[in-house]
């Protein structure tokens, strides 16, 4: 089969007419410097198609460029959109139907590339825009090249419209002739989006989220900037973007970022899904549900929402009377006291057992320690409590043992008391995770925002779900969604964890907390989302320009 194909190809090239447009197309496709799958709608004779195939393959005919001739539009071969180049002869019959089907399938957009071959007849706009495509919407993101033959040369131009109602715009893409091949200006090496940043006053519709109706009057004057903060921060940013693009603007406002309810999207996301706006001006969280229906372009305002609380005092979580010493010190202390008990008891027995003329005098003296377990225990207990004793040992050995006993217990008592004082001023560090927070005796509160109510109530991860059901909205209790100011004030009183946006929240912390109190604040992440991103409608033709801006 391969030999037969080479024979047919060679025969066609040897005895057939040489077509300049086939060479031109091959040079233009190769000049794109990208892998290409050429999808052709052509009504050419067989030998001309063979010439095109051969020209695209170049010298390595056993490794041709992928190519397919089609009779109608289909998407079976568009798995790698960035490789597809549509080649259409506008002189062919039924070409308008093919172009209409392609437009309905939104194929006149990036990353698809189009080469439209025009014979110069039935053209508009200074003999540049061919009649068959005048009704199409070809927007700034499209790479649509129209060719026109002048004698043995070809002129190639990009064509596009900023909006359906705007006039056609053209850009010179390059020239081709048999001697020099394809040549294009250096400026065409730039990305298309960089060359088409001027939207010529076209009105871009943009939606913002405002949870407080009064915020519409304070988008730029920094009044109540703790309310609808993320919108107020991004309002000037998005306006600068539109100024950069020389675009007009029309504002829409929603009271929520948008969530799926009964199969449809509400809020700002709903505006984007219904294609009523181009940009969602209030950044929103990057979620898997939204990823399939909107495009995210940038994260202009990193922010975090976390549980913030004062670490409780150490005494709230632990028994300070046991915590003052390590367990090894406690064991060593008990062993020391027991050894001193045995030593005192042994010395007492030894002194009473000695025979002497003063034995009767000793028995009548109540200040001498008797050799009994009870008396020795009372002596040691008094020493441990830093109390004196009415009895003592009279011998030298006994006095030495009692001195060691009282000195040892005095130092232990001093160290114990000092540790107690230090621990009373210390905060606990045992609450490190959400699970620790859940099982603590700390009460909870959440800043009353739309997204907090949604994400807390829909949490499915066991610990997060338990936090909502047991701490935030337990049965029979009003859910603890409160204002920022109230939450920070309660947080200052202690034993209260408040979930808030940290950027705004710390402004109130600076207002109500003393400097020394700020050091004991602890943060724990709750929401399982990344920073909010700016979203645009799916497949908007201005997406790359928005990214650049």
What are the pLDDT digits (tens) for 17-62?
677 888 888 888 888 877 778 888 888 888 888 888 888 876 554 4
pLDDT for the residue numbered 62: 43
Distances (CA, A) of 329 to 28, 64, 326, 341, 419: 85, 83, 5, 18, 13
pLDDT for the residue numbered 5: 45
User: What angle, 0 to 180 degrees and rounded to 10, lies between the N-to-C axes of helices 327-353 and 373-384?
Assistant: 140
Lowest mean per-residue pLDDT among 160-174, 367-381, 438-452:
367-381
Q: ∠126-129-135 over CA atoms, to 5°?
A: 130
Task: Indicate whether 470 pLDDT > 70.
Answer: yes
Whole-number Å distance between alpha carbons of 455 and 256: 13
pLDDT for the residue numbered 14: 41
pLDDT for the residue numbered 2: 39
As a whole number, mean pLDDT of residues 341-363 equals 69
What are the pLDDT digits (tens) for 225-244?
888 888 888 999 999 999 99
Q: Which long-range contacts (CB under 8 A, 24 or more apart) does 513-522 make?
A: 513/488, 517/310, 517/492, 520/310, 520/311, 520/427, 521/308, 521/309, 521/310, 521/311, 522/308, 522/309, 522/310, 522/311, 522/431
Which value, to the nearest 10 degrees, does the dihedral of the CA atoms of residues 225, 227, 231, 236 take? -20
Beta bridge pairs of residue 334: none
- 347 or 495: which carries more pLDDT confidence? 495
The answer to whether 157 and 145 are in contact (CB under 8 A) is yes
As a whole number, mean pLDDT of residues 393-397 equals 73
Confidence of residue 359 (pLDDT cuts 50, 70, 90): low
Confidence of residue 321 (pLDDT cuts 50, 70, 90): low
Quickly count: other Cβ atoms within 10 Å of residue 405's Cβ. 22
Task: Indicate whether 78 pLDDT > 70.
Answer: no
Confidence of residue 363 (pLDDT cuts 50, 70, 90): low
pLDDT for the residue numbered 499: 92
Whole-number Å distance between alpha carbons of 369 and 416: 29
DSSP state of 469: I
The answer to whether 431 and 318 are in contact (CB under 8 A) is no
Whole-number Å distance between alpha carbons of 402 and 224: 72
pLDDT for the residue numbered 318: 66
Q: Which residues contact 51 (CB under 8 A, 6 or more apart)?
A: 12, 13, 16, 18, 19, 22
Task: Indicate whether 8 pLDDT > 70.
Answer: no
Query: Which tokens hold the place of 241?
Result: 């973007």
CA dihedral for 128, 134, 137, 142, sign (positive or negative): negative
CA dihedral for 298, 301, 305, 309, sign (positive or negative): positive
Query: Which tokens hold the place of 198?
Result: 């001027």
Which of 182-186, 283-287, 464-468 holds the top average pLDDT?
464-468
Beta bridge pairs of residue 146: 116, 157
Give me the count of residues in the chain. Answer: 549
β-pairing, 260-261 vs 305-310, is: unpaired
- 368 or 361: which carries more pLDDT confidence? 368
Confidence of residue 72 (pLDDT cuts 50, 70, 90): low
Task: Indicate whether 7 pLDDT > 50.
Answer: no
pLDDT for the residue numbered 362: 59
Whole-number Å distance between alpha carbons of 238 and 205: 11
For the chain, give percent helix, strand, coil, nearest 5.
40, 20, 35
Q: Which residues contact 241 (CB under 8 A, 6 or more apart)?
A: 546, 549
Task: Indicate whether 13 pLDDT > 60.
Answer: no
Q: Which residues contact 144 (CB under 8 A, 6 or more apart)?
A: 108, 114, 116, 138, 158, 159, 160
Give the side-chain half-sphere CA count within 13 A for 380: 22
Closest listed residue to residue 81, CA positions, set 36, 138, 145: 36
Task: Indicate whether 123 pLDDT > 70.
Answer: no
pLDDT for the residue numbered 425: 65
What are the pLDDT digits (tens) for 518-528?
888 888 888 87
Q: Which residues contact 140 (CB under 8 A, 6 or more apart)?
A: 160, 162, 192, 193, 196, 199, 541, 542, 545
Q: Where are the alpha helices (DSSP H) in 354-483?
A: 359-364, 373-384, 396-424, 434-438, 450-457, 462-466
- 476 or 374: which carries more pLDDT confidence? 476
Q: What percent of the chain has pLDDT over 90?
A: 12
pLDDT for the residue numbered 412: 81
The mean pLDDT of the chain is 81
- 351 or 113: which carries more pLDDT confidence? 113
Task: Indicate whether 156 pLDDT > 50.
Answer: yes
Q: ∠383-384-388 over CA atoms, to 5°?
A: 25
Q: Which residues contact 470 (CB under 8 A, 6 or more apart)?
A: 438
β-pairing, 521-525 vs 305-310, is: antiparallel
Domains of the chain: 2-195 (3.40.50.2300), 203-303+533-548 (3.40.190.10), 320-424 (no CATH), 428-525 (3.40.190.10)
pLDDT for the residue numbered 64: 47
pLDDT for the residue numbered 253: 93
Q: How far apart are the first and last CA of the chain?
A: 54
Task: Indicate whether 205 pLDDT > 90.
Answer: yes
What are the pLDDT digits (tens) for 488-515?
999 988 889 999 988 888 888 888 888 8
As a whole number, mean pLDDT of residues 128-139 equals 86
Whole-number Å distance between alpha carbons of 337 and 45: 111
């Amino acid at each position: 089969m391969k030999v037969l194909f080479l024979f047919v190809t060679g025969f066609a090239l040897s005895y057939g007419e040489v077509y300049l447009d086939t060479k031109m197309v091959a040079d233009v496709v190769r000049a794109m410097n990208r892998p290409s799958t050429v999808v052709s709608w052509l009504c050419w004779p067989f030998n001309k198609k063979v010439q095109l195939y051969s020209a695209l393959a170049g010298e390595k005919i056993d490794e041709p460029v992928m190519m397919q001739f089609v009779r109608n539009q289909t998407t079976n071969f568009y798995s790698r959109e960035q490789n597809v180049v549509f080649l259409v002869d506008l002189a062919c019959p039924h070409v308008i139907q093919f172009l209409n089907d392609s437009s309905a399938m939104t194929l006149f957009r990036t990353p698809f590339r189009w080469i439209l071959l025009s014979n110069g007849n039935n053209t508009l706009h200074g003999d540049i825009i061919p009649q068959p495509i005048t009704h199409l919407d070809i927007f700034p993101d499209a790479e649509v090249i129209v060719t026109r033959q002048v004698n043995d040369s070809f002129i190639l131009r990009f064509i596009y419209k900023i909006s359906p109602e705007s006039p056609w715009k053209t850009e010179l893409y390059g020239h081709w002739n048999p001697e020099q091949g394809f040549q294009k200006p250096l400026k065409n090496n730039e990305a298309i989006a960089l060359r088409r940043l001027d939207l010529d006053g076209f009105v871009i519709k943009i939606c913002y989220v405002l949870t407080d109706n009064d915020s519409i009057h304070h988008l730029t004057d920094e009044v109540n900037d703790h309310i609808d903060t993320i919108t107020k921060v991004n309002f000037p940013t998005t306006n600068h973007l539109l100024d950069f693009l020389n675009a007009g603007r029309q504002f829409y406002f929603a009271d929520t970022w948008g969530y799926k309810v009964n199969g449809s999207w509400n809020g700002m996301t709903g505006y984007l899904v219904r294609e009523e706006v181009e940009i969602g001006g209030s950044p929103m969280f990057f979620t898997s549900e939204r990823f399939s229906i909107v495009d995210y372009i940038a994260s202009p305002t990193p922010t975090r929402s976390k549980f913030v609380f004062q670490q409780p005092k150490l005494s709230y979580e632990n028994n300070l009377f046991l915590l003052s010493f390590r367990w090894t010190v406690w064991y060593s202390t008990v062993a020391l006291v027991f050894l001193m008990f045995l030593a005192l008891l042994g010395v007492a027995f030894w002194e009473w057992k000695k025979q002497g003329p003063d034995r009767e005098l000793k028995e009548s003296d109540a200040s001498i320690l008797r050799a009994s377990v009870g008396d020795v225990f009372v002596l040691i207990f008094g020493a441990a409590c830093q109390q004196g004793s009415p009895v003592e040992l009279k011998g030298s050995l006994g006095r030495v043992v009692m001195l060691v006993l009282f000195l040892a217990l005095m130092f232990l008592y001093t160290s114990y008391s000092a540790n107690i004082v230090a621990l009373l001023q210390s905060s606990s560090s045992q609450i490190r995770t959400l699970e620790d927070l859940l099982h603590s005796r700390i009460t909870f509160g959440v800043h009353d925002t739309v997204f907090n109510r949604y994400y807390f109530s829909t949490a499915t991860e066991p610990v997060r779900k338990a936090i909502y059901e047991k701490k935030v909205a337990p049965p029979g209790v009003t859910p603890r969604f409160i204002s920022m100011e109230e939450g920070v004030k309660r947080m200052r009183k202690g034993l209260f964890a408040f979930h808030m946006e940290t950027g705004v929240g710390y402004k109130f912390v600076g207002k109500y907390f003393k400097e020394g109190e700020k050091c004991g604040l602890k943060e724990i992440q709750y929401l399982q989302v990344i920073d909010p991103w700016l979203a645009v409608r799916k497949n908007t033709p201005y997406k790359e320009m928005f990214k650049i801006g």
